[in-house]
Structures are given as structure tokens and as C-alpha cells.
Amino acid sequence: MTGNTGRERWSSTLGFILASIGSAVGIGNVWRFPYIVGANGGGAFLIPYLISVLLFGLPLMVLEFAIGRNTGTSVVTAFRSIQGRFSFAGLAVVAIASLVLSYYLVITSWVLAYALFFALNRPVDFGAFTGSYLPLIFFLLSGIAVFLTVRSGVREGIEKVSRVLIPVLVVILLFLVVFALTQAGAMDGIGFYLSPDYSRLADPTVWTAAFGQAFFSLSVGMGVMLTYGSYLEGGDLFRNASVIAVADMLIAILAGLVIFPLVFTAGLDPAAGVNLTFITLPAVFTGMRFGMVLGALFFAMLFTAALTSAVSMLEVPVAAMMDSRGYSRKRATLLVFGVIMLLGLPSALSYTALELELLGTPLLDLNDYLFGTIGLIVAGLIISIVGGWYMDRARVCTEIGGCGWQQKIYMALIRYCVPAILLITLIASLLQAAG
């Protein structure tokens, strides 16, 4: 390891795993994964998704952990230690993570608001809420929660929060699953969600959707796992990454077991996509017994997932500034937080009366596509190429347990398969947007 021995560390492997699960499990696990499964062959979609996770998503996660642990530093300085000319590439990854966070905090703020509204028994219309300036208050509150967590440090902030919130998330989720499965339309919802349509496996768009979901849901490609890996001392990277990936997938699957039984029980549209979270589900909760309590629990769970993901994204630029500029954590966090809140303000205002748009598209939606889709794929390509092709092979082998035949297969996946799949996914995303 070439990093600073005085660097902050996780207190344990469990703390590292919980923080990484917190990063991987976000808003997309709750609304995006169930909907994609339902729209792409139901249970059959799990086949290409599992393949994508094991053969492409997991190797990239391990590579990020390996780069971080071996260099003992964050993205920019880690890339510089591989080759000096890659400093700019590291800056690009940090910039993408920061830009994703800027609009992700807006969605997080909506979730926080809905949790409070249901807790106070005062559900609101989504259009009326976003059309006001009230979301700006929740945008600030969400940002402050993320700021205070990261400012407190790795052990006292990120790890401590993850140790509390991830078990809470799981408990709430399991409770909601049990409740949802006892409702009248539960079996119809399960049928829509998981019934296999194997004919869809012949559709290339299903496979590209699986590739995209695998990278999206595992939180790879943003430098988060690289940064978290830099705080790790020991442990089997393949085993740790596998635990994180399995936990992330199980939580996503369980979320579907909540959403679709409730939607079918209420007789509403299960293919509502993005609207599922803020329009369809609130309508479900409002119209059922104990709906206010259930709605509060659901959005509290969703806010928990969003918060831990947002914390991990903020840590990327904060750690980069600490390592490259020598700033203290408190100073770096304050500066980065201020910049990200300013960057996120146009997204926060895009659904208000100002209706900030570009080319007829709300700025939040445009940022989601440019940075949350295209940007993440590009960042993943950068990491896979820099780490797979230019990092000294001996350094990689040191972190992944030698260079036997298993590791050779892994290196082949990282060097050839992962970049190829990311490139295919990028082209498919661009064509979809164009068409």
C-alpha cells in the first residue's frame, strides 16, 4: 500500500460492508429495479441481471476496492499514482459523482417531505408540492443531514450512521413486505412482478437494461467504492464485494414485493415508472387502512436509502480535496457542500413555478440523463480502463489474492468484457434518447 498510514480507517469489516451497502442501496432500488423487472420479462429478467452483476458489476466493484486499498488514497491521487497523466481522468470521475449528487439531493428532499407529510397525516398532491417553493426547504434540510454525516468523519459519521440506518431500513422493509403480501391483490402483483416471460430474453434491449441496472444499483463507476476501499485495511475483496452485491439485490427484490401487491390491490397502473414513487404509491397509501402510518414508514425507509447513498457520493469529492489539497475534513466538507448545493439549485427549481427547462426538458430530468446515465457509464469506462490496463498488474494481484487462473479470468473480464459492455450500454442509451 502506498497511501498515508495516518488515513482514517473503518473500525471493522462489518462497518465497511454496511457503509458500502448503504451506498449501493438507494432510491433506484425501490422504484427503478421493480419497474424494470416488471417491464422486461418479469422473473426472466433476473437471469440477465444476475449475469450482469456477477460478470460485470462485481468485477468493477472489486477493482475500485483494489485501487483504493492499494493506493490508500482517493480518486484523483489514486489515478495520479497509477500514471500522472490520469489526474484529469480522476477529476472527471469526481466531477460526475458531484453532479449526480447535486440533483440526487433534490429527489432525496422530496422523499423526506413525503415522509413528514404522511407522519403528520397531511398527504399532498405531487404537482402542488413541487410547483411551490416548499421543496427548497427540504432540499436544504437533506443537504445539511448529508453534510453533518460526512463532516463527522469515516468512523463517527459514515460508519456510525450506516450501522444504525441499514438495519432500520431492513426491518421496515420486511414489515412492509409482510403487510403487502397479506393484501387482496397481492398474488396478482406478484404475478406481474415475477412471472417469467422467457421470450423477452431474445430482446437485446432487455440485456442492455440489465447491464445498466447492474452498474446503477451497485454504485460502481462513481469512485465511491474506490474511496471507501481506501479506508479499508484487510479482508477478502471478492467476499466483501459479493456480500454487498447480494444484499443490494435482495433489498431491490424485496422492494418489488412491497410495491406491486399494494398497487394491484388498489387497482392502479403498475407501469407508472418514475411516477410510481410520488404519485401512484401515495394514492395507494391514502386510500387504505393505516395508510398514513404505512406511507410514513415507506418514505422513511426510502429516505434512509437515499441518505446513505448521498453520503457516499459527497465523500468522493471531499476525500479528493483532502488528499489533493491537504484540507481538513471540516473545511473540505464545507466547501464541497456549498458548491454542490449551488449546482443542485437549478434542479431544485426545475419543477417550481419558474419551470427551469432546457430544450423543453426540466433541468432535473436532463441532469439525470446526462450525469446519472451517460456520465456514470463514462466514469465506469474510465475506472475500468485506467485500473485494468494501466495499473501495475502486480499491485492488482496483491489486492485480489494473487495471479492464479481465477485472477486471470477476473483480469480478462476487467480488461475486455466490462469496457465492452459499458460501451454497448452507452451506445444503447444514446440511441434510445435519440429515437
Residue-wise pLDDT tens digits, 256-274: 899 889 888 888 777 666 6
State how far the Cα of 306 lies from the Cα of 310, in Å rounded to an integer. Answer: 6
d(CA 147, CA 100): 16
Rounded-to-integer distance, Cα 279 and Cα 264, Å: 15
pLDDT in tens, 46-60: 899 989 998 889 999
Query: Which grid cell is 338?
Result: 456549498
Q: Give the phi and the psi of residue 357 in degrees, each rounded to 5.
A: -135, 160
Task: Answer left, alpha or beta for residue 225, where phi above 0 means left and psi between -120 and 50 means alpha.
Answer: alpha
Tens of pLDDT, residues 33-48: 887 887 788 888 889 9
How far, in Å, CA of 421 to CA of 220, rounded?
A: 14
Q: What sign for the dihedral angle of Cα 301, 302, 307, 309?
A: positive
Judge whether residue 6 has pLDDT over 80. no
Bridge-based pairing of strands 357-358 and 361-362 is: antiparallel
- The residue ranking higher by pLDDT, 308 or 209, is 308
State the pLDDT at residue 4. 54
What CATH fold (topology level) applies to the domain 13-434?
A: Amino acid/polyamine transporter I (1.20.1740)
| Backbone phi, psi, residue 191, to 5° | -60, -45
Q: Read off the DSSP letter of residue 42.
A: G
Q: Each residue of 41-78: b (16+ CB within 10 Å) or e?
A: bbbbbbbbbeebbebbbbbbbbbbbbbbbbbbbbbbbb
DSSP character string of 239-293: HHHHHHHHHHHHHHHHHHHHHHHHHHHHT--TT-TTHIIIIIHHHHHHTSTTHHH
CA–CA separation, 232 vs 220, rounded Å?
A: 17
Q: pLDDT grade, residue 277 (50/70/90)?
A: confident
Give first-to-last CA distance, the chain, whole Å: 47
pLDDT of residue 100: 95
pLDDT at 187 over 70: yes
Nearest to 200 by CA among 49, 56, 33: 49
For residue range 103-129, list pLDDT tens digits in order: 999 999 999 999 999 999 998 889 899
